A and B are shown apart, each in its own frame.
Chain A
Amino acid sequence: MLENIRLSFKGIWSHKMRSFLTMLGIIIGIAAIIAIVSTIKGTNEQIKENLIGSGDNTVEISLYQGDWTYEMGYEGIPAGVPVINSQMMEEIKNIDHVVGASAYLSRQEYEVYHLNTSISGGNVLGVDNSYFSTCNFIIRRGRGFSEKDYSQFRKVALLDKDSSDALFQGEDPLGKTIEIKKEPFVVVGIVEKSKVFEPTINSIEDYYTYSQDASGKIYIPNSTWPIIYQFDEPQNLVIEVESTDDMTNAGKSAADILNSYVTTSDETLKYKAEDLLEQAKQIQQLSQSTNSMLIWIAGISLIVGGIGVMNIMLVSVTERTQEIGLKKAIGAKKSNILGQFLTEAAVLTSMGGIMGVVSGIILAEIISRLSEMPVAISVPAAVGAVVFSMAIGIVFGVFPSYKAAALDPIEALRRE
């Protein structure tokens, strides 16, 4: 076997130009596939990262009316939708892969002022103390909420970067007072996601997809919520799960638990998990289906390449008739000859495959530079490509090799 491989390399090397041209079909086919796969993978990873936020495995569950989140008016929670109570929370925390859960209150609010500066369409959230750890927030500056903030109904607030930028425009917000619906709140700290994540924006579509939430959030202790709003029923939930892949299932289960307590006659009123993973998959599939066609085309080029290999192997068998005859005369079995030619075909196409993978990677890098599309090299795809090209060599080498093995040594030796 090793001897056959050595002979193959020798044979291929002695016909450098011819071998290269023969490999070209395989090289082009494999390079195209690797480049396409790398681009798909890069795009997919980016979509997933953008939508989910890298490493932050939280799912928001909120009340929906039809396809839209239910907008709380002053009348509060609609009839038939119960308060998220501690019993529901227990059930939700018992779902597989759920690490933590926190219920909170949320309203879209325009009436938030610092002096004369207002915030347009930010959200005010009434949260308990577990909220920040569940959502992987850290206190960037100042302090978080203390037990006393909750028990003494202190009017304190935490801002995120967006809301502090909007209200204070560079000024230091710590210790300053803001007004939420005319009620003064003291800013005690700035929170931030522990992993700062900036989605990569490549297109207008990306911009609209990822930038919906940029108008900022203001957090207050949930005990102070009734001071501004009349109702204090938590109707939003955030859960943290072990890994990104658990998000869809855990989110669905949590929504199901909440829905099982909903008794309203309004069929459109339902808790839903904000299923980012599902959204990501849909976008990915879209890009994948267009690209899978390209892969088919590249596959055809591989078949053409394989036929080229078969053709050149047939020529090679004819050229080496004497060699084959001599080898048989000195004791080579059919299987020896078959093995030699099959190895040669497999080595030839494997080399083509390796060169194809390298060119494909280079091509992918060039594409990513030119079009600013992300690429991610897939190691299984690269290994698969080389194995696949080896298989092409074997499949298309069988016929010529069999022809060589079946050659009549007398005829072969007579040809001078």
Chain B
Amino acid sequence: MILDLQHIFKDYNQDKLVVPVLKDVNLQVEEGEYVAIMGPSGSGKTTLMNIIGCLDRPTSGAFELAGTNILTLKDKELSNVRLNSIGFVFQSFHLMPKETALENVSLPLSYAGVKKKERKERALKALTRVGLEDRATFMPTQLSGGQKQRVAIARAMVNNPKILLADEPTGALDSKSGAQIMELFQKLNDEGVTIVMITHDSNIASHAKKVYNIIDGEISQAAEKEEDHEEKN
């Protein structure tokens, strides 16, 4: 099991008022799974993803990533988990605007202490994986939204993480580019990458193998999709 979250609670303190955001969240994800988490705005999706992505700590609960108890790790060790085991993709891409696509993709490699020459090779390989090898020297401003997100995906995948976390990866894209991103996710998942994707769009969520709903901080598995049944039959 790659992700194992047990009884996760997360409260925010706002002016002496305790705001519960996640309420007893249990979530298990097997290696190679493709999971979508759906829910309305403010339901706690991003909060949950920050916890899964080792950026935030829950108020209480237990969390293991690939068998490691994350909650006892120190800041520096968490950085290493994020560097080596997790790939992040965001709604607004978060590319470095002054760096080329290739430089953006090599960024995590420089934190991993990879030598310059190897960095370039591996970054180029990651760009090839998302079909953008011919845009390596482009600046983010010279790329379309869909291309930017693919660069961001290449950056997330360049260290070969165990799991890809995506928060509204298509939220800023038109439906055509969104579909391309979904194709890419499917391809990556076929190659064995575990994907956890957050969205409030049920069309997008339908690309995942398993869909969870999160409403007001409480998570539940959605009914198995019918087409899935058909495929299985």
Chain A residues with CB under 8 Å of chain B are 3, 10-11, 14, 322-323, 326-334, 336, 409-410, 413-414, 416
Contacts and interface: CB of A to CB of B under 8 A. Distances in A.
Nearest to A2: B116
Interface in B4-19: none
A3 B75 contact: no
B76 interface: yes
A331 B80 contact: yes
Contacts of A329: 53, 55, 82, 88
B225 interface: no
Given A14-B98, A330-B155, 15 more contacts: A10-B98, A323-B96, A327-B111, A330-B107, A330-B156, A331-B79, A331-B83, A331-B159, A332-B79, A333-B79, A333-B111, A334-B76, A413-B90, A414-B46, A416-B92
21 contacts: A10-B98, A10-B99, A11-B98, A323-B96, A326-B94, A328-B55, A328-B79, A328-B82, A329-B55, A330-B82, A330-B83, A330-B108, A331-B80, A332-B83, A332-B111, A333-B76, A333-B79, A333-B111, A336-B111, A413-B55, A414-B46
Contacts of B98: 10-11, 14
B55 A331 contact: no
The interface residues of chain A, by DSSP majority, are classed as helix
- Interface bracket on B: 20 to 34
Given A10-B98, A409-B55, A410-B50, A330 B92 contact: no
B1 interface: no
B199 interface: no
A413 B75 contact: no
A211 to B, nearest CB: 66
A323 B92 CA distance: 12
Contacts of A331: 79-80, 82-84, 108, 111-112, 159
B110 interface: yes
Contacts of B87: 330
A322 B94 contact: yes
A248 B92 CA distance: 76
A327 to B, nearest CB: 7
Contacts of B92: 416
Interface string B86-118: 011010101010110000000110111000000
B30 interface: no
A229 to B, nearest CB: 86
B56 interface: yes
B154 to A, nearest CB: 12
A322 B80 CA distance: 20
A322 B82 CA distance: 17
Contacts of A409: 55
A412 to B, nearest CB: 10
A332 B82 CA distance: 8
Contact of B110 (A3, A11, A14, A328): A3
B129 to A, nearest CB: 17
B187 to A, nearest CB: 21
Contact of A334 (B50, B55, B75, B107): B75
Contacts of B76: 333-334
Contacts of B50: 410
B126 to A, nearest CB: 13
B40 to A, nearest CB: 18
Contacts of A334: 75-76, 79
A17 to B, nearest CB: 16
Contacts of B88: 329-330
Interface in B32-87: 46, 50, 53, 55-56, 75-76, 79-80, 82-84, 87
A196 B83 CA distance: 73
Contacts of B94: 322, 326, 413
Nearest to A331: B83
A333 B87 CA distance: 16
A410 B56 CA distance: 7
Contacts of B110: 3
Nearest to A323: B96
A230 B82 CA distance: 103
Nearest to A333: B79
A327 B79 contact: no
Contacts of B83: 330-332
Nearest to A332: B111
Nearest to B76: A333
Nearest to A11: B98
Contacts of B90: 326, 413
A97 B170 CA distance: 86
Nearest to A6: B103
Contacts of A328: 55, 79, 82
Nearest to B110: A3
A328 B75 CA distance: 11
A331 B113 CA distance: 12
B230 to A, nearest CB: 38
A328 B96 CA distance: 13
A328 B86 CA distance: 12
Contacts of A413: 55, 90, 94
A125 B136 CA distance: 88
